[in-house]
Amino acid sequence: MTRHPTDHPQFYLTAPAPCPYLDGRQERKVFTHLIGHHAPALNDVLTQGGFRRSQNIAYRPACENCRACVSVRVRVADFEWTKSFKRQWKRCEDIVGARLPPSPSAEQYDLFKDYLYSRHENGGMTEMSILDYAMMVEDTHVETMVIEYRRRGPDTFLTGAGEGPLLGVALTDQLADGLSMVYSYYTPDSAGAGLGTYMILDHIERARRMNLPYVYLGYWVDGSPKMAYKARFRPQEHLGPDGWSEIDARTSAM
């Protein structure tokens, strides 16, 4: 069995492949393994350095002639509750997010497939089997969780969980300085209207209650309509050559 060092991680570079966000471009990634008892601390450091997690791999773009992917995190303490956000929060007041261990289920997988075929029909993740999905959720050595979103039920005040059909799921890492939204998906029909926005707002509120300063949203990609929504959550910080700095989304190129 191959063993990977955990005290001094080794980094690898992928071969060029078509970019999933910008047509006509090639992407490369640098990655390392997140395994062993050092994995949570390493995940903290790498996330703060612009890496993202997928199962037990941490990766970040390493494209030769493109810097369109920018790591984004929201400053929780100063978050601006716009009128639009307040309306969406009110609209979803009957939805409850229950924090659960990172355990997959058939119900999650069914919703996952519905979401992909509705939103990302040509993406590579549509080929994932239920086993692939299970590995995505539970194959990890870091501190992570699944948050399931359902309608509020008569016993919610006792259980803390909603009832009825599953509406949304967030796979989220807990870091020393924040929550990192690894992957989220939700019902593609009218019942899920605005639910993606609500799930981010819910994470910002969770981080606030946990006294965590940031919510990491992954990459904003300059020129990709799929990623434009991330600009709405501010104040936010972008990771650049000189570290993290606040970006004014109202006056930036976003």
Query: Is 249 inside a domain boundary?
Result: no
CA distances from 9 to 26, 46, 57, 77 (A): 26, 11, 11, 33
What is residue 119's predicted lDDT score, i.e. its pLDDT?
A: 79
Range of the domain at 204: 80-213
Looking at the structure of the chain, the number of domains it has is 2
What's the pLDDT tens digit per position in 136-179? 999 999 999 999 999 999 998 888 888 999 999 999 999 999 99
What is residue 191's predicted lDDT score, i.e. its pLDDT?
A: 64
Tell me: do 98 and 137 sit in the same domain: yes
Query: Is 49 inside a domain boundary?
Result: yes
What is residue 123's predicted lDDT score, i.e. its pLDDT?
A: 63
Tell me: do 32 and 130 sit in the same domain: no
Tell me: do 176 and 137 sit in the same domain: yes
Tell me: do 152 and 209 sit in the same domain: yes
pTM: 0.91
Pair type for strands 69-75 and 95-100: unpaired
Pair type for strands 26-27 and 17-18: antiparallel
Query: Is 18 inside a domain boundary?
Result: yes
Tell me: do 165 and 115 sit in the same domain: yes
Helices (H), 57-128: 83-91, 106-119
Query: Is 245 inside a domain boundary?
Result: no
Half-sphere exposure in the Cβ direction for 41 (13 Å, CA): 7
Query: Is 219 inside a domain boundary?
Result: no
Tell me: do 134 and 185 sit in the same domain: yes
Give the residues of the chain that fall short of pLDDT 70. Answer: 1-7, 120-124, 190-192, 248-254
Tokens of 248: 């004014």
* Structural Rg of the chain based on CA atoms: 18
Reference 51, options 67, 62, 35, 64; nearest CA is 62
What is residue 247's predicted lDDT score, i.e. its pLDDT?
A: 87
CA–CA gap between residue 60 and residue 119 (Å, rounded): 23
Tell me: do 134 and 54 sit in the same domain: no
